[in-house]
Amino acid sequence: MRPKIINNEAHEATKLSLFSVQIDPNYVDSTTQPDPFKHYPKFYRRFPLDLENPFHSFLHFCSTITYQKIYREGAYALRVNPSAGALYPTEIYVQIRGVKGILDGIYHLEVETNSLTLIYELIDDGLEGYLLDNRLIKGCIFLVSCVYFRSSWKYKNRSLRYCFLDSGHHLGVIEASAYAQDYTSQILFDFDQLALNDDLGFENKEFVTAAIIVGNLKEKQIRRLRSPIPFVCGTDYFEPNRFVESGYKQTLLTTNHQPEILQPQFNFEKTKLIESIQNRRSARRFQKSEITQEAFFAVWESLNQPIATPSYEVIEIYAVIQSVAGIEAGIYRGKDGLKAGNFRDKMGYLCVNQAIARDSAVVFFFVSEFQNYRVALQLAGLLGQRVYLSATYVGLGCSGIGAFFDDETQAFLDVKGSILYAIAIG
């Protein structure tokens, strides 16, 4: 018997088509954008991150500002993680236990000030109490959360997709930063998120999407937080979206589990990987020029590394190759060519008439007959982050594409699964 599909209704309800884009072009007043940074009150203790300290450097590259862009309407702070519309709904919290020089506690990783804000001091309790295995973890437990109004302010109901995709990108950043420091990591999607949201003081304005462990299990059992953390809003104002809130809650069921958890074996030189994390940007345009097979296969290799999680969703990867030296243009799945042809104009059209898809060398599509929508989208976002970093590593540009005509793209690729994400390199 096939397991119940969790939240396919949300995917169907947020599809784009040529007609839907025409009747709702989604214009917003940029002056009303909610604050993209969360700050706890000034009386909370803050600890600046010292990049000369390897552990601090690891935390820094999990969530930090990498570049400032100045536009007519103001400055935009670009971060290690890409985000739909540069709205950055994700926040990072980290429990640190048993690390020399750092007080055992739960911290908010405050990206704007590059510091750790202590929001809860541990005694015999901690985040382990909410996990399926509540044994003590020496090291770090990261939580990725979404202040969803930052995204729904612009994208309305479709922001549910972008919150999950952005969360996956942030998981990919943490995965890469851990790899650069020779730490192993494991991603968790199944734990008591509703209770954790309550105890972290999120109310209905923020929700946890995933956890990632960078540390070692000990035999001691840990109880849940002895007292809740006071509420602090992640934006300067807030408007609820019941579709997003309901869509999130419907995914909080146990996912399929895989029997073996494998660590990815990337072929990255560690110092150069850190530079790639720092220098990653979303390309705004591509030249219609050829890329090398070596560069393409470097990106492809990173996509095919395992994801260290007990949760399991099959993500199929399709590549529409448009200009790679020595490879015939066409649609590919893995190493198999499915259909030859020049599809540049089709790519531009399907990706909501975006030149960046038309002019790129390759457009990857992530497809899934998912069981759990939240998990599948986060895995797609993590794979997207791998594309960004490996493309940057080999000197290519990259751009994630969250907007495409869903049904027409599905028909073009001739797939049964849902199109979760597209990402272009060139």
Would you tell me which CATH number, out of the four given (3.40.109.10, 3.40.50.2300, 3.30.70.1290, 3.30.470.10), belongs to the domain 282-425? Answer: 3.40.109.10
Give me the pLDDT at residue 253, please: 85
Judged against a pLDDT cut of 60, whether residue 2 lies above it is answered with no
What is the rounded average pLDDT of the residues 162-172? 98
Give me the pLDDT at residue 3, please: 55
What is the rounded average pLDDT of the residues 260-274? 96
Give me the pLDDT at residue 127, please: 98
**Cα separation values, 224 from 90, 129, 186, 195, 315, Å:** 24, 4, 21, 10, 34
* 389/288 Cα distance (integer angstroms): 21
What is the rounded average pLDDT of the residues 3-17? 86
Instruction: Check: CB of residue 72 under 8 Å from CB of residue 79.
Output: no
Taking alpha carbons only, the member of 76, 84, 91, 234 closest to residue 156 is 84
Say which DSSP state 110 is in.
E
Two domains, one topology: 33-249 and 282-425: yes
What is the rounded average pLDDT of the residues 147-159? 97
* 380/286 Cα distance (integer angstroms): 23
The tokens describing 147, both together, are 């202040």
Q: Which residues contact 304 (CB under 8 A, 6 or more apart)?
A: 317
4 pLDDT tier (thresholds 50, 70, 90):
low
Judged against a pLDDT cut of 80, whether residue 222 lies above it is answered with yes
- Give 305-308 contacts, CB < 8 A, sequence gap 24+: 305/264, 305/265, 305/266, 305/386, 306/262, 306/263, 306/264, 307/187, 307/264, 307/379, 307/382, 307/383, 308/175, 308/184, 308/185, 308/186, 308/187, 308/261, 308/262, 308/263, 308/264
The tokens describing 138, both together, are 């020496």
Taking alpha carbons only, the member of 379, 376, 373 closest to residue 12 is 373
What is the rounded average pLDDT of the residues 381-406? 98
Judged against a pLDDT cut of 60, whether residue 1 lies above it is answered with no
Paired strand residues for 65: 79
pLDDT digits (tens, 9 = 90+) for 75-122: 789 999 999 999 999 999 999 999 999 999 999 999 999 999 999 999
Judged against a pLDDT cut of 70, whether residue 333 lies above it is answered with yes
Percent of the chain with pLDDT over 90: 90
The tokens describing 41, both together, are 């009150």
- Per-position b or e across 371-391, b if 16+ CB within 10 A of its CB: bbbbbbbbbbbbbbbbbbbbb
Taking alpha carbons only, the member of 423, 415, 416, 410 closest to residue 15 is 410
- Supply φ then ψ for residue 418, to 5 degrees: -80, 145
Q: Which residues contact 148 (CB under 8 A, 6 or more apart)?
A: 89, 159, 160, 163, 205, 206, 207, 241, 244, 245, 248
Give the 3-state secondary structure of residue 136. Answer: strand
- State which fold the 33-249 domain adopts: NADH Oxidase (3.40.109)
Residue position matching structure tokens 């000197």? 395
* 58/270 Cα distance (integer angstroms): 12
Give the 3-state secondary structure of residue 208. Answer: strand
pTM across the whole model: 0.97
Taking alpha carbons only, the member of 151, 137, 117, 314 closest to residue 230 is 117
Of 56-60, 65-69, 292-296, 316-320, the one with minimum mean pLDDT is 65-69
Give me the pLDDT at residue 415, please: 97
255 pLDDT tier (thresholds 50, 70, 90):
confident
Residue boundaries of the structural domains of the chain: 33-249, 282-425
- Bigger pLDDT: 174 vs 29: 174
Percent of the chain with pLDDT over 70: 99
Tell me the average pLDDT of the chain. 95
Please report, in angstroms and rounded to a whole number, the separation of the first and last CA atoms in the chain. Answer: 43
Of 1-10, 44-53, 201-210, 341-350, the one with minimum mean pLDDT is 1-10
297 pLDDT tier (thresholds 50, 70, 90):
very high
The tokens describing 305, both together, are 């590394």
